[in-house]
């Protein structure tokens, strides 16, 4: 739905010309007049060697990395190592392509000491909780400025896989379980990045929804349901942001590797949707040159393929196929033109001087994202904690004396000045050495001391339940920080907290009736202690400004406004796959996961099964109250809903009213149709109008390869969350086929 009430709080600051960038593409809004024509002209002038050099990227050198010694194809004077390096063609003004991870800031692969770090922005699930495209777009701009300052012109951002499974170790790198919310936010990030002259990806195309043996994972799904869910996310995000590149996923989809999946890449992405950018593989996901025939345009990080599959298919086999005619000349030209087009379209060939990076401003953007991403799950009135009283506060566990937690893997950002601490965890497979507890400074302890200057704060590490209880007992209030390390390469076996933290929380709650819990996890957790604590705050992985944001929410300086973008099931029994196939099998074991829930993910699954979750998608509390009135819904070709939201409490705050389809003519069907983040002063009202993307009201008809809306009555609901309706209406929709 489109938002008319544009109450999107962002970080205001006047930018200097240098920060805006001053190359021609950026002065006309980042759009090259005719990138297709120029790409065609340039490609025609290239030699075959130049063409072949463009269709691979070389992994940067990381001392000690599994991919081996420094690759001789990396120029000796290459300054910043990156995930991928592709030589340019200087005689034609084509710059080298340097790609960097990822969606939460500029990473430093291998944590090389000469890299001074970058701004560590909040995790995407945290930004997903903001329901605020504007805060995401602004973060994208900031990430791109930092990328440009290091010479990176492709940002491997735009993670938009759907959170189908709360065990997926990478959900923190994705926005949500909902296709529309994910698409809107991913597009905002891509638009922010590309506005600065940097190409962005959307990734991982598609169904990289579990990490278990991901290189050997076959994701099975009904093709029509795929179009209504994961593919719809990409489709809407592509339409809204025209990303220069799409990164394919590691897994297979219905038996074919994503990077070589002809029906999806050639069929859906390029032919049906007319995608004009280039398709890159994930690192180590190109076992075969024939992927080029099925839609893959660039093999990424070729040494990773050598490691996994024993060869670099686009270096050796692709040339051989070209020479003997199995790879048509026109296809090679198309691969090259697509890559060039994406660079030209954002102006990556016409960079001016590198933008100055204002660290304080970027920290302010990270802070605003963290604030808006914190979800107040429970509060019986204990929050906010008065900031000006001489309270004795027990702060327990979670390494809260050192820093906040980061997710792990290729997307983890080392902050300026380095991590506060790093504790090795390890695990099977190539990601084992990256699976660590990374703590970002400053610490919650320090931030709480600043926020509660009159309080006496005792830190207890939560080492044992008994010891933690001693500190809690002599305090007015106990705040337990509970954490879990999640990341790339690993699914969680269950939703519990590790390291005996549940027992610590139980003991603290028994010792002090005023106990509250702050969670830093990348996914929902189970909470056996839920009824014995007075408040629960989900901070996700909040990034480098997270400690301040958490302290401000606890004190009420910031009124929490986050809404969970993923359903919290009461137990795994209430999810589509109580048992996760392949979990626990050795790295390298082929596994098939049937996503039999189709498009009925998360809140939709719960609605279909009639089960109630622990916390529904869209749930999040505030320190003020919001009322809805004047609800109206109009049918026809789509649904337009309007209503007035009023802040009836005594504090300023932001609400996220949500409109859902709850039933179609022949079936109950739950779909988020639209949302709007509305910031209101006490007593203030705002009228909001939302119009649904008709695909959210439709089924995908596989036989016609079109969307179909059934004529008849559709039920629509205005609510505070997927399980919290406030108003309902029935509207009639015209039956029709449309789109592709
Ligand atoms: C990840 C990608 C990432 C790439 C490059 C892979 O392991 O799946 O998301 O962009 O590495 O570092």
Q: What is the pLDDT of residues 583-626, one digit of tens each?
A: 999 989 999 999 999 999 999 999 999 999 999 999 999 999 99
Tokens of 699: 């089924």
Mutate to test the pocket of ligand 1, among 173, 203, 283, 300 (most ligand atoms within 8 A of CB): 283
Q: Is the pLDDT of residue 19 over 60?
A: no
Cα of 283 to ligand 1 centre, how many Å?
Answer: 6
What lies within 8 Å, CB to CB, of 485 at 6+ separation is 405, 407, 408, 425, 435, 436, 437, 498
Strands 392-396 and 456-460: parallel
DSSP 583-596: TTSPTT--EEEE-T
DSSP 316-365: THHHHHHHTTSS-HHHHHHHHHHHHHHHHHHTTTS--SPPPP-HHHHHHH
Scanning the structure block, which residue is given the tokens 């590790």? 498
Distance CA 451, CA 443 (A): 12
Distance CA 76, CA 69 (A): 13
Strands 97-101 and 84-86: antiparallel
pTM of structure = 0.96
Cα of 726 to ligand 1 centre, how many Å?
Answer: 42
DSSP 458-493: EEE---SHHHHHHHHHTSSEEEEEEE---BTT---S
What is the mean pLDDT of the segment spanning 317-321?
Answer: 98
Scanning the structure block, which residue is given the tokens 């602004």? 138
Cα of 409 to ligand 1 centre, how many Å?
Answer: 8
Cα of 209 to ligand 1 centre, how many Å?
Answer: 14
Residue among 275, 278, 297 at smallest CA distance from 286? 297
Coil, strand, or helix at residue 509?
helix
Q: In which band, very low, low, confident or very high, does the pLDDT at 66 lie, cut at 50, 70 and 90?
A: confident
For residues 39 and 15, the model is more confident at 39
What is the mean pLDDT of the segment spanning 399-416?
Answer: 97
The minimum-distance atom of ligand 1 relative to the CA of 156 is: 10
Average pLDDT along the chain: 95
Question: From the candidates 165, 178, 218, 282, which is the catalytic residue?
Answer: 282
- Weakest-pLDDT range from 253-257, 424-428, 449-453, 658-662: 424-428
Give the model's pLDDT for residue 336: 99
* Residue 204 preceded by cis peptide, ω within 30: yes
Kindly report, residue by residue over 167-208, the tens digit of the pLDDT. 999 999 999 999 999 999 999 999 999 999 999 999 999 999
Residue among 448, 633, 524 at smallest CA distance from 165? 524
Percent of the chain surpassing pLDDT 70: 95
Mutate to test the pocket of ligand 1, among 156, 304, 307 (most ligand atoms within 8 A of CB): 156
Per-residue b or e along 38-52, where b marks 16 or more CB atoms closer than 10 Å to that residue's CB: bbeebbeebeeebbb
Distance CA 240, CA 119 (A): 26
Distance CA 255, CA 308 (A): 19
Q: In which band, very low, low, confident or very high, does the pLDDT at 477 lie, cut at 50, 70 and 90?
A: very high
Give the model's pLDDT for residue 10: 56
What is the mean pLDDT of the segment spanning 564-572?
Answer: 98
For residues 82 and 652, the model is more confident at 652
Cα of 101 to ligand 1 centre, how many Å?
Answer: 7
Q: DSSP assignment, residue 64? A: T
Beta bridge partners of 668: 663
Coil, strand, or helix at residue 448?
helix
The minimum-distance atom of ligand 1 relative to the CA of 409 is: 7
Give, in order, the Cα–Cα distances in Å from 422 to each of 105, 397, 425, 548, 629. Answer: 18, 16, 9, 20, 50
Give the model's pLDDT for residue 109: 76
Give 246's Cβ-side CA count (13 Å radius).
Answer: 32
- Cα 721 to chain center, whole Å? 20
Give 689's Cβ-side CA count (13 Å radius).
Answer: 3
Give the model's pLDDT for residue 1: 54
The minimum-distance atom of ligand 1 relative to the CA of 159 is: 9
Give the model's pLDDT for residue 79: 82
Q: DSSP assignment, residue 171? A: G
* Burial category of 116 from C-beta neighbours within 10 Å (exposed 0-12, middle 13-18, buried 19 and up): exposed
Distance CA 675, CA 680 (A): 16
Q: Is the pLDDT of residue 11 over 80?
A: no
Residue among 739, 565, 726 at smallest CA distance from 638? 739
To 10 degrees, what angle do helices 179-194 and 230-241 make?
A: 30
For residues 437 and 30, the model is more confident at 437
Mutate to test the pocket of ligand 1, among 147, 173, 300, 410 (most ligand atoms within 8 A of CB): 410
* Residue 94 preceded by cis peptide, ω within 30: no
- Residue pair 350/23 in contact by the 8 Å Cβ criterion: yes
Q: Is the pLDDT of residue 163 over 50?
A: yes
Q: In which band, very low, low, confident or very high, does the pLDDT at 32 lie, cut at 50, 70 and 90?
A: low
3-state class percentages of the chain: helix first, strand second, coil last, to nearest 5? 30, 25, 45
Q: Is the pLDDT of residue 504 over 50?
A: yes
Q: DSSP assignment, residue 86? A: E
Task: Provide the Cα torsion 61, 66, 69, 71; round to 10°.
Answer: -60
The minimum-distance atom of ligand 1 relative to the CA of 204 is: 9
Q: Is the pLDDT of residue 16 over 90?
A: no
- Residue pair 627/645 in contact by the 8 Å Cβ criterion: yes
DSSP 183-228: HHHHHHHHHHHHTTT-EEEEEEETT----TTGGGEEEE--HHHHHH
Give the model's pLDDT for residue 64: 82
Distance CA 583, CA 561 (A): 35
Q: In which band, very low, low, confident or very high, does the pLDDT at 6 lie, cut at 50, 70 and 90?
A: very low
Q: Is the pLDDT of residue 282 over 90?
A: yes
Q: Is the pLDDT of residue 360 over 90?
A: yes
Q: In which band, very low, low, confident or very high, does the pLDDT at 486 lie, cut at 50, 70 and 90?
A: very high
- Residue pair 732/687 in contact by the 8 Å Cβ criterion: no
Is 723 known to be catalytic?
Answer: no
Question: 146 — phi, psi (to 5°)?
Answer: -70, -35
Mutate to test the pocket of ligand 1, among 81, 102, 304, 305 (most ligand atoms within 8 A of CB): 102
Question: 70 — phi, psi (to 5°)?
Answer: -60, 130
To 10 degrees, what angle do helices 133-149 and 359-373 make?
A: 150
> E strands, 574-723, where?
591-594, 626-634, 640-647, 653-655, 658-664, 667-675, 678-680, 685-691, 699-701, 706-709, 712-721
- Residue pair 553/537 in contact by the 8 Å Cβ criterion: yes
CA angle in degrees (0–180, nearest 5) for 81-87-88: 125
To 10 degrees, what angle do helices 465-473 and 501-511 make?
A: 30
How many Cβ atoms from other residues are within 10 Å of residue 498's Cβ?
Answer: 14
- Residue pair 392/458 in contact by the 8 Å Cβ criterion: yes
Query: Which residues line ligand 1 at a C-beta cut-off of 6 Å?
Result: 83, 101-102, 156, 203, 282-283, 410
Give, in order, the Cα–Cα distances in Å from 332 to each of 92, 336, 380. Answer: 18, 6, 63
Sign of CA dihedral 698, 701, 706, 708: negative
Cα of 495 to ligand 1 centre, how many Å?
Answer: 25
Q: Is the pLDDT of residue 35 over 80?
A: yes
How many Cβ atoms from other residues are within 10 Å of residue 409's Cβ?
Answer: 22
Alpha-carbon Rg for the chain in angstroms = 25
**Which residue CA neighbors atom 8 of ligand 1 most closely?**
282
Task: Provide the Cα torsion 46, 51, 54, 56; round to 10°.
Answer: -170
The minimum-distance atom of ligand 1 relative to the CA of 203 is: 9
What is the mean pLDDT of the segment spanning 365-391?
Answer: 98
Give the model's pLDDT for residue 62: 86
**Which residue CA neighbors atom 6 of ligand 1 most closely?**
283
């Amino acid at each position: 739905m489109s938002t008319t009430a544009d109450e999107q709080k962002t970080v205001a600051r006047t930018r200097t010309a240098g920060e805006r960038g001053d190359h021609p593409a950026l002065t006309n809004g980042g759009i090259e007049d005719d990138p297709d024509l120029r790409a065609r002209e340039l490609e025609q002038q290239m030699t075959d060697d130049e063409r072949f050099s463009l269709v691979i990227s070389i992994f940067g050198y990381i001392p000690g990395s599994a991919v081996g010694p420094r690759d001789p194809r990396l120029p000796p004077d290459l300054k910043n190592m990156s995930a991928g390096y592709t030589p340019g063609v200087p005689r034609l003004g084509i710059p080298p392509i340097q790609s960097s991870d990822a969606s939460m800031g500029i990473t430093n692969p291998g944590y090389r000491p000469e890299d001074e770090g970058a701004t560590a922005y909040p995790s995407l699930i945290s930004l997903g909780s903001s329901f605020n495209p504007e805060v995401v777009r602004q973060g994208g701009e900031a990430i791109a400025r930092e990328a440009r300052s290091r010479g990176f012109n492709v940002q491997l951002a735009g993670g938009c896989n759907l959170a189908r499974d709360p065990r997926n170790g990478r959900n923190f790198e994705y926005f949500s379980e909902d296709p529309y919310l994910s698409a809107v936010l991913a597009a905002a990030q891509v638009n922010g990045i590309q506005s600065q002259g940097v190409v962005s990806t959307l990734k991982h195309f598609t169904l990289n929804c579990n990490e278990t043996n991901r290189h050997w994972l076959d994701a099975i799904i009904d093709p029509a349901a795929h179009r209504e869910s994961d593919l719809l996310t990409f489709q809407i995000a592509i339409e809204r942001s025209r990303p220069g590149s799409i990164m394919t996923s590691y897994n297979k989809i219905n038996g074919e590797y994503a990077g070589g999946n002809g029906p999806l890449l050639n069929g859906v992405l390029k032919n049906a949707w007319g995608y004009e950018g280039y398709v890159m593989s994930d690192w180590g996901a190109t076992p075969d040159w024939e992927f080029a025939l099925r839609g893959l345009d660039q093999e990424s990080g070729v040494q990773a393929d050598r490691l996994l599959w024993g060869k670099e298919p686009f270096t050796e086999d692709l040339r051989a196929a070209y020479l003997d005619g199995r790879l048509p000349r026109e296809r090679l030209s198309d691969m090259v033109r697509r890559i060039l087009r994406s660079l030209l379209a954002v102006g990556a060939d016409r960079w001016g001087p590198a933008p100055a990076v204002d660290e304080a401003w970027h920290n302010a953007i990270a802070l605003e994202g963290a604030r808006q991403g914190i979800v107040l799950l429970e509060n019986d009135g204990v929050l906010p904690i008065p900031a000006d009283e001489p309270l004795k506060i027990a702060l327990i566990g979670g390494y809260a004396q050192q820093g906040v937690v980061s997710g792990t893997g290729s997307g983890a950002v080392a902050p300026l000045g380095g991590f506060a601490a790093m504790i090795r965890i390890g695990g099977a497979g190539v990601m084992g050495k990256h699976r660590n507890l990374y703590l970002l400074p400053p610490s919650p302890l320090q931030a709480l001391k600043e926020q509660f200057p009159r309080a006496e704060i005792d830190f207890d590490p939560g080492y044992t339940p008994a010891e933690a209880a001693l500190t809690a007992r002599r305090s007015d209030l106990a705040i337990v920080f509970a954490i879990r390390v999640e990341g790339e390469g690993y699914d969680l076996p269950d939703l519990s907290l590790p390291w005996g933290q549940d027992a610590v929380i139980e003991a603290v709650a028994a010792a002090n009736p005023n106990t509250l819990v702050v969670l830093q996890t990348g996914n929902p957790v189970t909470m056996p202690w839920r009824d014995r604590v007075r408040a629960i705050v989900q901070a996700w992985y909040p990034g480098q400004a997270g400690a301040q944001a958490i302290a401000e929410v606890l004190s009420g300086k910031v009124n929490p406004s986050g809404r969970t973008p993923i359903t919290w099931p009461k137990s795994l029994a209430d999810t589509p796959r109580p048992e996760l196939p392949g979990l626990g099998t050795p790295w390298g074991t082929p596994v098939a996961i049937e996503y039999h829930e189709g498009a009925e993910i998360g809140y939709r699954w719960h609605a279909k099964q009639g089960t109630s979750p622990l916390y529904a998608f869209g749930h999040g509390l505030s320190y003020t109250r919001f009322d809805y009135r004047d609800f109206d819904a109009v049918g026809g070709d789509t649904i337009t809903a309007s209503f007035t939201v009023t802040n009836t409490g005594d504090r300023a705050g932001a609400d996220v009213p949500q409109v859902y389809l709850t039933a179609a003519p022949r079936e109950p069907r739950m779909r988020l149709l639209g949302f709007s983040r509305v910031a209101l002063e006490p007593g203030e009202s705002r009228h909001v109008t939302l119009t649904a993307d008709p695909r959210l009201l439709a089924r995908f008809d596989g036989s016609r390869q079109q969307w179909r809306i059934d004529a008849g009555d559709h039920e629509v609901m205005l609510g505070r969350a997927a399980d919290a309706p406030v108003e309902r209406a029935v509207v009639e929709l015209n039956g029709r086929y449309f789109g592709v």
